A = this chain, B = another copy of it.
């Protein structure tokens, strides 16, 4: 196939994930074409019911069809985001028979019947990618299958269910019991009205099966996974974990042992110093121990329309590139040659510590120096420096002026975001003020 000819994409499902995928394919079609080397043309979107208003997706309404069986026969690439076993399985198999590569986010199907699907893909010489099936947006498929292809994975510990992590995190941070925490999660949309699939560990077990298959290059199905949910985890358990400087997490554990592989899902205490312990709220993370690589962790959002769509689109670009014959080597990708900004144009924030005279009017002069460069101040803190020692006593910044002319204070200012040039000019001006005895330190602040 020529790199110029468009690739025909069929989308199965127009729910939260399917809608996000359709939107990105429509709104960013030029960009996707540049990355693939061919245009991706959506030839149809299979939906269960016709006639519903889907105008918010911004796609041509004539693309919607209820005949998914027909749609998959006229596509080069099929994206399956219906979920569940049937009709997803039949449609994927049919698509592959007709020569289409498939991208799916369907963990339940992969956990139940993955080997059959992989075999069908191999038989028909097509790709089957499923990054979105485990831990949503977190890239795991490529790291486990490819980056670690020359290494031996020993163990995988995963927080792969956002609902249960949210519930356990609330129990840990607020002392709430299981039922209260579930209700909070439901109120905030982190748990479904019937939370069984999550809290009983079924969702995590399906993902554990896929993770183990990837990590150990072997076949594991959902029914092979030992499973315990979090419904029995009590506030007392969480408190007991805390006493041991531990936190309770629902873990998907895949272990390579001499005798084979162990795959299980159950709540467990892990030390608070462990990288997984810091995975809060509904985030997901997968911790991997490999022979040569040592400890690795992958962290991000495990669910949601946009994060899942990101993973689906990454897979779609990969299978599309494969179609147009392009490899994934860096030499073959299109470069943008974006301008590189000078440091002065970088947007950042400053933490500035000043040695100032402790008298009235100091703050006004300092604040004026910031204002002169249009730099907005977020917080000011003043620490008195006692004459007899280095220990500082804190006082209110605005009112903080005490002893006579000889008294000194530290003024600590944190700015809002501004250009590095404006921040740096502000600091230069501060150095010239008579009320500023010295600039103790200037440091940028990131990550807020």
Q: Which residues of A are interface residues toward B (Cβ below 8 A)? A: 20, 24, 28, 31-32, 35, 115, 118-123, 126-131, 137-139, 141-143, 145-152, 157, 216-220, 224, 226, 233-234, 236-237, 240-241, 243-244, 246, 248, 251, 253, 255-257, 259-264, 266-271, 274-278, 287, 290-301, 304, 306-307, 309-319, 322, 327-343, 345-348, 351, 353, 412, 414, 440-441, 443-448
A331 to B110, CA, bound (A): 13
Which residue in chain B gives the minimum CB-CB distance to A298?
B298
Known pairs A218-B338, A292-B313 / 16 extra A-B pairs, C-beta < 8 Å? A24-B150, A115-B335, A121-B331, A130-B330, A137-B292, A139-B139, A139-B147, A149-B318, A150-B310, A216-B338, A260-B341, A292-B306, A293-B301, A297-B298, A297-B299, A298-B298
| Chain A interface main SS type | mixed
Select one of B146, B152, B341 contacting A328, CB under 8 A.
Answer: B146
Given contacts A150-B32, A269-B351, contact A118 B237 (CB under 8 A): no
- 15 A-B residue pairs with CB within 8 Å: A127-B331, A129-B330, A142-B143, A148-B314, A217-B333, A219-B335, A240-B441, A241-B443, A261-B338, A261-B341, A268-B443, A287-B447, A291-B310, A292-B306, A293-B310
A310 touches B248 (CB 8 A): no
A128 touches B447 (CB 8 A): no
A240 touches B412 (CB 8 A): yes
Most buried by B among A126, A139, A298: A139
CB-defined contacts of A448 to chain B, threshold 8 Å: 270-271
User: A82 to nearest B CB, angstroms?
Assistant: 20
Select one of B121, B139, B274 contacting A329, CB under 8 A.
Answer: B121
B261 touches A329 (CB 8 A): no
